[in-house]
Amino acid sequence: MAITVVGSVAYDTIETPAGRKDRCLGGAATYFSLAASFFTDVRVIAVVGEDFGPEQEAVFLAHNIDTRGIERAPGKSFFWEGSYLENLNEARTRNTELNVFAAFEPKIPEAYRDSEFLFLANIDPVLQRRVRDQMPGVKLVAGDTMNYWIKDHRPALLEVLTGVDVLLINDTEARMLAANNNLVQAARAILALGPRILIVKHGEYGATAFFSFHSFAPKGESAEHPFRAPALPLEEVVDPTGAGDSFAGGFFGYLASQSALTPSVFRRAMFYGSVMGSFACERFGTERLQALTRKEIDDRFLLFRELTHLD
Amino acid sequence: MAITVVGSVAYDTIETPAGRKDRCLGGAATYFSLAASFFTDVRVIAVVGEDFGPEQEAVFLAHNIDTRGIERAPGKSFFWEGSYLENLNEARTRNTELNVFAAFEPKIPEAYRDSEFLFLANIDPVLQRRVRDQMPGVKLVAGDTMNYWIKDHRPALLEVLTGVDVLLINDTEARMLAANNNLVQAARAILALGPRILIVKHGEYGATAFFSFHSFAPKGESAEHPFRAPALPLEEVVDPTGAGDSFAGGFFGYLASQSALTPSVFRRAMFYGSVMGSFACERFGTERLQALTRKEIDDRFLLFRELTHLD
């Protein structure tokens, strides 16, 4: 089943202990699409500037990603510059230029409307809501957000959450959204805001899924038991940019590729999320995702299983 | 098979967001012994003062722990006071009084000498070494240490490491010991110092075992692949004191209870370590370990399996 994703397609300048890369193709929707494309059909809604040409579009087309929803606008694409020199786990933003994104009005191509899965990548919750409302027929909606929206755009974000089935955020964001430092209590508070499933991403320690009572995922009375997927302890983290979006792409892409959302499918989706997040860190920008093969993905899936399973 | 453990038996005054407790029975050897006692015979080597009476000894005896190696000395027992008010993951030490521990000369009772397993809890590496040297016949030696010894007693610590099979330390300690912030690289550097296995404890995120090539644990060519055991996301952490020592007790106790050290036994031992660590946090001091049953332990083991396994 096809996924429509709305989010940023951007250029990133990134500095990490491994080096520096100027103007890599990036953005949440780019990482998400590439990661999800290994599992299912992906359709992107975004806006880019005149600096986005055939060479960039070819990256999407090479992975069979539908780009008809990528709008061209006069001016430059969204630009972000960040450094991981002090802390590999958290970027220090040096510069953000919204550019064409400042006036973004997401339009959904007719050909996207039969998508059964919708992913709202980290953008203004007002835009997330607008896209959500235009796709009432989707079967499953997942979304991401960030500190900035949680702190300064809370009412709009809370409205979005009522229409999201699966929320994927990191530890800091979960604690901030719930105003509670205990993760289990924070998860319960967030599940009361709308999502049926909360996935908290722990970076190098993996991710934990928490379920509300009415969730489809776990069986019967264990509905409130969380599930934890591992992350791989990496020998060398070249660039953690986009790891969370790649997790979301692997997770949601695998879900969309399956015919039923059983507990077992959900667990595998979490593992595939971790797998795609770990690949994303291995090279700058989307380089590793671009070069990846399904065989490498499945091999790492087995490695993660071996890493965590008793037998 | 019996485990001999050398370490502190102490009194702790602890303040956490859940409250405050004065002079709980604590110390690394106490937590370790109680946790390991659910799996195998445990023998303690420690020194206590005149404030350690029959009531405290009864805690050990109720768990069949051999206390003949607990020496009584004039004066007061080791005392520690710490607070977790700012950070539940790391104690701020308010006061440490070595008391009788200052002149501790570990003596090994004759009845302990046939122990096949030895655990060197976190004490002065000079004392760890002295105990290690007096028990040349042990089959497996595990040990713990802390920042203070890594920073200021490095040569003595490095000597101990040459005689330790399994080193259990936390993330910060591993990075400090190896002077390398990348955990995989740090692990490799530490394994070159002597231990065949390094277990890095991640607190609420579980623990990762790294193996040297000659390790018994994993099969064949996967000898360098790590193994990760989960920790339970806890609704309420009352007091994290002793969680690491309880992990060590569950891990080593289970190993000692098995007839062979297969990869499967090793993995189960890691899970039992996590199980015991998670119980330790649920009440102040050793209260939860004292009240625990083997049935509760095995139920949580299954919960951890369910938390992390695909099927």
- Does the beta carbon of A89 lie under 8 angstroms from any beta carbon of chain B? no
Task: Label residue B12 left, alpha or beta by phi (over 0 means left) and psi (-120 to 50 means alpha).
Answer: beta
Q: Token digits for A40?
A: 């299912």
Does A308 contact B230 at a Cβ distance shorter than 8 Å?
A: yes
Does A228 contact B182 at a Cβ distance shorter than 8 Å?
A: no
Q: Token digits for A264?
A: 């077992």
Closest chain A CA to residue B301: A310
Q: What is residue B288's predicted lDDT score, i.e. its pLDDT?
A: 97
Q: Which residues of B touch A310 (CB under 8 A)?
A: 264, 267-268, 271, 305, 309
Residue A229 in contact with residue A274, Cβ under 8 Å?
yes
Mean pLDDT, residues B223-227 taken together: 74
Sequence-distant (≥ 6) Cβ neighbours of residue A152 within 8 angstroms: none
Q: What is residue B87's predicted lDDT score, i.e. its pLDDT?
A: 83
Q: What is residue A259's predicted lDDT score, i.e. its pLDDT?
A: 93
**Model-level pTM?**
0.91
Give the model's confidence band at B224: pLDDT under 50 very low, under 70 low, under 90 confident, else very high.
low
- Does the beta carbon of B227 lie under 8 angstroms from any beta carbon of chain A? yes
Q: For a pLDDT cut of 90, what percent of chain A falls above it?
A: 87
List pLDDT tens digits, range B117-158: 999 999 999 999 999 999 999 999 999 999 999 999 999 999
- Does the beta carbon of B194 lie under 8 angstroms from any beta carbon of chain A? no
Q: Which residue has the higher pLDDT, B227 or B222?
A: B227
Give the model's confidence band at B233: pLDDT under 50 very low, under 70 low, under 90 confident, else very high.
confident
B19-32: buried (b, 16+ CB within 10 Å) or exposed (e) per residue? eebeebbbbbbbbb
pLDDT at residue B52 is higher than 90: yes
Q: What is residue A247's predicted lDDT score, i.e. its pLDDT?
A: 98
Does A228 contact B308 at a Cβ distance shorter than 8 Å?
A: yes
Chain-centre distance of CA B289, in angstroms?
Answer: 14
List pLDDT tens digits, range A240-265: 999 999 999 999 999 999 999 888 99
pLDDT at residue A216 is higher than 90: no
Task: Write the DSSP string, A112-175.
Answer: GTT-SEEEE-SS-HHHHHHHHHH-TT-SEEEEE--HHHHHH-HHHHHHHHTT-SEEEEEHHHHH
Q: What is residue A108's predicted lDDT score, i.e. its pLDDT?
A: 96
Mean pLDDT, residues B284-299 taken together: 97
Does A225 contact B307 at a Cβ distance shorter than 8 Å?
A: yes
- Does the beta carbon of B89 lie under 8 angstroms from any beta carbon of chain A? no
Distance between CA B45 and CA B132 in Å, rounded? 12
- Does the beta carbon of B158 lie under 8 angstroms from any beta carbon of chain A? no
Q: What is the mean pLDDT of chain A?
A: 93
Q: What is residue B84's predicted lDDT score, i.e. its pLDDT?
A: 93
Task: Write the DSSP string, chain B.
Answer: --EEEE---EEEEEEETTEEEEEEEE-HHHHHHHHHTTTS-EEEEEEE-TT--HHHHHHHHTTT-EEEEEEE-SS--EEEEEE-SS-TTSPEEEEEE-GGGGG------GGGTT-SEEEE-SS-HHHHHHHHHH-TT-SEEEEE--HHHHHH-HHHHHHHHTT-SEEEEEHHHHHHHHT-SSHHHHHHHHHTTS-SEEEEE-GGG-EEEEE-TT-SSS-GGGGG--EEE-----S--S--TTHHHHHHHHHHHHHHHSSS--HHHHHHHHHHHHHHHHHHTTSSTTHHHHH--HHHHHHHHHHHHHHH---
pLDDT at residue A232 is higher than 90: no
The partner residue sitting opposite A227, judged by closest CB among B236, B267, B307, is B307
Mean pLDDT, residues B271-283 taken together: 96
Q: Which residue has the higher pLDDT, A216 or A224?
A: A224
Residue A223 gets which letter from DSSP? G
Edge-first strand order for the sheet with B227-229 is B66-72, B42-48, B3-6, B117-120, B140-144, B166-170, B197-201, B207-211, B227-229
Does A308 contact B309 at a Cβ distance shorter than 8 Å?
A: yes
Residue A238 gets which letter from DSSP? S
Residue B228 in contact with residue B258, Cβ under 8 Å?
no
Distance between CA B284 and CA B122 in Å, rounded? 20
Distance between CA B135 and CA B231 in Å, rounded? 33
Task: Label residue A220 left, alpha or beta by phi (over 0 means left) and psi (-120 to 50 means alpha).
Answer: left
List pLDDT tens digits, range A285-299: 999 999 999 999 999
Mean pLDDT, residues B220-226 taken together: 57
Does B307 contact A234 at a Cβ distance shorter than 8 Å?
A: no
pLDDT at residue B281 is higher than 90: yes
Q: For a pLDDT cut of 70, what percent of chain A falls above it?
A: 96
List pLDDT tens digits, range B66-114: 999 999 999 999 999 999 998 888 889 999 999 999 999 999 999 999 9
Does A233 contact B184 at a Cβ distance shorter than 8 Å?
A: yes
Place of tokens 């290690």: B132
Select the residue from B191, B201, B205 to test the A interface by mutation, using most A Cβ atoms within 10 A.
B205
Mean pLDDT, residues A216-237 taken together: 69
Distance between CA A248 and CA A120 in Å, rounded? 10
Closest to B14 in 3D by CA, of B22, B4, B6:
B22
- Does the beta carbon of A233 lie under 8 angstroms from any beta carbon of chain B? yes
Closest chain B CA to residue A227: B307
Q: What is residue B77's predicted lDDT score, i.e. its pLDDT?
A: 98
Q: Which of A197-201, B4-8, B228-232 has the lowest mean pLDDT?
A: B228-232
Select the residue from A88, A219, A228 to test the B interface by mutation, using most B Cβ atoms within 10 A.
A228
Does A310 contact B264 at a Cβ distance shorter than 8 Å?
A: yes
List pLDDT tens digits, range A19-36: 999 999 999 999 999 999
Does A236 contact B182 at a Cβ distance shorter than 8 Å?
A: yes
Does B184 contact A235 at a Cβ distance shorter than 8 Å?
A: yes
List pLDDT tens digits, range B157-184: 999 999 999 999 999 999 999 999 889 9
Please give, rounded to a whole number of angstroms, the shortest distance from the CA of A189 to a CA of chain B: 12
pLDDT at residue A214 is higher than 80: no
Distance between CA B66 and CA A274 in Å, rounded? 46
Does A226 contact B307 at a Cβ distance shorter than 8 Å?
A: yes
The partner residue sitting opposite B310, judged by closest CB among A235, A271, A303, is A271
List pLDDT tens digits, range A154-189: 999 999 999 999 999 999 999 999 999 889 999 999
Give the model's confidence band at A221: pLDDT under 50 very low, under 70 low, under 90 confident, else very high.
very low
Give the model's confidence band at A86: pLDDT under 50 very low, under 70 low, under 90 confident, else very high.
confident
Measured on CA atoms in the order A231, A234, A240, A242, is the torsion positive or negative? negative
Q: Which residue has the higher pLDDT, A214 or B193?
A: B193
Residue A28 gets which letter from DSSP? H
Distance between CA B228 and CA B207 in Å, rounded? 6
Give the model's confidence band at A89: pLDDT under 50 very low, under 70 low, under 90 confident, else very high.
confident
